[in-house]
Structure 1
Amino acid sequence: MRVSEAMTPDVYVASANETIQEAARMMAGLDAGVLPVGDHDRLVGMITDRDIAIRGVAEGKGPDAKVRDVMTVDVKYCFEDQDLDEVTRNMGDIQVRRLPVVDRSKRLVGIVSLGDVAIVDGNGKAGEALSGISRPGGKHSQTR
């Protein structure tokens, strides 16, 4: 199975120039905890509710702080035509629950989550990845 068969294709993309309050409102409206951050049609970062809380509020930044000031710039992603099992294993290894999905021109085409994987793939790969993700630390960990 390919990533494109499991991903969510409709993804809101935040701007690095938006405020963290605007990003948080969008997350609330979408019932999502993560947004890709784009510059025109290129992916330049990811912002999570945790980024807003830890890198924003906990460091004294107010609601008018810019997304670029708290986002993760080391973006991990996958390709829409990659094998879903391979990507799911990788998510466990790099300890992320969601990955932006790009085409071979590196344009954002969707996002894939462990929830998406669990729905379409009943072979337990989502649970295996979650076991890896639940280890302390990881690429998107706030404890550097």
Structure 2
Amino acid sequence: MKVGHMMSSDVCVVSPDDSLREAAKLMAEYDIGSLPVGENDRLVGFLTDRDIAIRAVARGLSPDSRVREAMSNDVKYCHEDDDIESVAKNMASLEVRRLPVVNRDKRLVGIVSLGNFAGSGDSRASQDLLQGVAAPH
């Protein structure tokens, strides 16, 4: 199975110039823990609830600080036509629970998460991913 068949395609995106408050409100409204950061139709970062807590709040940034001050710039991603087993292994090795999904033009088309794998019916891929992200550090 390909990632494009199981990913979540309804994705909220924030701008690097949006406030952390705006990003946190979106996360709360949609009950999500991460947001891709886009600028000029390109994926330029990724912001998680952990980034807000660790990179922003713990460093004393205000809720009006910009997303760019807390986001991860080194964005890992997969392609919509990648096989789910290889993506699961990659996510496990990166120890991440979610990845942005891009097309071959590197345009954001979705997000794939641990939950998508659990619902995919591919128990091997789900198990590989869960073992990688749940392993003690």
> Common fold, TM-score beyond 0.5?
yes
TM, length-normalised to structure 2 = 0.96
Contact 2:37 2:44 in 1 (8 A): yes
CA shift, 1:133, in A, is 1.4
- Unmatched runs of 5 consecutive residues or more in structure 2: none
Moved more, 72-81 or 113-122: 113-122
SS at match of 1:13: coil
- Unmatched runs of 5 consecutive residues or more in structure 1: 138-144
Q: Alpha-carbon deviations, 1:116-142, whole Å to 9, x = none?
A: 0110124232232122113355xxxxx
- Cα distance between partner residues in 2 of 1:63 and 1:89: 36
- Cα distance between partner residues in 1 of 2:119 and 2:90: 18
Which residue of structure 1 aligns with residue 11 of structure 2? 11
TM, length-normalised to structure 1 = 0.91
- Cα distance between partner residues in 1 of 2:101 and 2:65: 27
Which residue of structure 1 aligns with residue 70 of structure 2? 70
Q: Alpha-carbon deviations, 1:55-79, whole Å to 9, x = none?
A: 0011000101100000000000000
Which residue of structure 1 aligns with residue 35 of structure 2? 35
- Cα distance between partner residues in 2 of 1:128 and 1:102: 22
- Cα distance between partner residues in 2 of 1:78 and 1:113: 11
Letter in 1 for 2:7: M
Letter in 2 for 1:13: V
- Cα distance between partner residues in 2 of 1:40 and 1:31: 26
- Cα distance between partner residues in 2 of 1:11 and 1:57: 25
Q: How much is the aligned-residue C-alpha RMSD, in angstroms?
A: 1.1
- Cα distance between partner residues in 2 of 1:40 and 1:127: 37
Q: Alpha-carbon deviations, 1:68-92, whole Å to 9, x = none?
A: 0000000000000010111011100
Identity of aligned residues (%): 53
